[in-house]
Copies of this chain bind each other. A is one copy, B any other.
Amino acid sequence: MVQKPAPDATRRSEKSRRAIYDAALALVVEAGYAKTTIEGIAARAGVGKQTIYRWWSSKADVLLEAFLDLSEQYAEAVATPEELQYGIPDTGDLAADLKYVLRATVDELVDPKFEAPSRALAAEGVVNEQFAVQVVSRLLEPSLQLYVQRLKAAQATGEVRRDIDPRIALELFVSPLAQRWLQRTGPITYEYSDALVDYALNGLAPR
């Protein structure tokens, strides 16, 4: 039988976990991913190295979970409980629902608290394929699948053509925001993200 930890021990490990996340994110922002080590994270968090190795097997694991936690905290701060549970709203008006969600993405991308750690991790993913694969499977693809579900619902109601692949279609409005953020090719505004939705749904050719 597995014993439940005493409440004091649970509080202590939750506190350590939080300190480790904070230390990992701070170090990757200040020193970069390459110079961030498990030893450095442990020292800054005020815990032993063994505490970290008990929960994670590498610095990539620690950082990715720290970032997933940051994203969850961010979502909890800005979203309603329904939004957290169901992802993209479905009011029956696809354009309005996509514009609503992309405006929230704009808010997140331009938030300074979010920017430094997410840029450090994105930069690492550009040059480190193994790390990128983890970021995609644990962070990016689950978010993109919410768009796939919403587009499939729109295919069922006839708002989106049935012969398109939703996994590709979502990139018409998600990827432009991502590229402007990653490569700084242009400003990120609500007007811009609204235009992406209109262009993608209606197409560039005259109707």
30 pairs of residues in contact across A and B, judged by CB atoms under 8 Å: A32-B127, A122-B126, A123-B124, A125-B182, A129-B184, A136-B184, A136-B185, A144-B185, A159-B205, A161-B204, A161-B205, A161-B206, A164-B199, A165-B195, A167-B186, A171-B175, A171-B179, A172-B172, A172-B173, A172-B196, A172-B200, A175-B179, A178-B178, A179-B182, A182-B182, A200-B203, A201-B203, A201-B205, A202-B205, A207-B207
A102-120 CB mask vs B (1 if < 8 Å, else 0) is 0000000000000000011
A183 contacts B by Cβ under 8 Å: yes
A135-176 CB mask vs B (1 if < 8 Å, else 0) is 110001100100000010000001111001101110111111
In this complex, the interface size class of chain A, counting residues with CB under 8 Å from chain B, is 35 or more
A204 with B160: CB separation less than 8 A = yes
B136 with A204: CB separation less than 8 A = no
A70 contacts B by Cβ under 8 Å: no
The winner among A127, A136, A144, A174 for most chain B CB atoms within 10 A is A127
In the bound complex, residues from chain B placing their C-beta under 8 Å from that of A167 are: 186
A58-B161 Cα distance, complex, nearest whole Å: 52
Which residues of A are in contact with B by a Cβ distance under 8 Å? 32, 34, 119-120, 122-127, 129, 132-133, 135-136, 140-141, 144, 151, 158-161, 164-165, 167-169, 171-176, 178-180, 182-186, 192, 195-196, 199-207
A32-B31 Cα distance, complex, nearest whole Å: 14
Picked from B168, B172, B184, the residue with its CB within 8 Å of the CB of A192 is B168
A119-B126 Cα distance, complex, nearest whole Å: 6
In the bound complex, residues from chain B placing their C-beta under 8 Å from that of A173 are: 172
A118-B20 Cα distance, complex, nearest whole Å: 33
In the bound complex, residues from chain B placing their C-beta under 8 Å from that of A136 are: 183-185
Picked from B144, B172, B182, the residue with its CB within 8 Å of the CB of A204 is B172
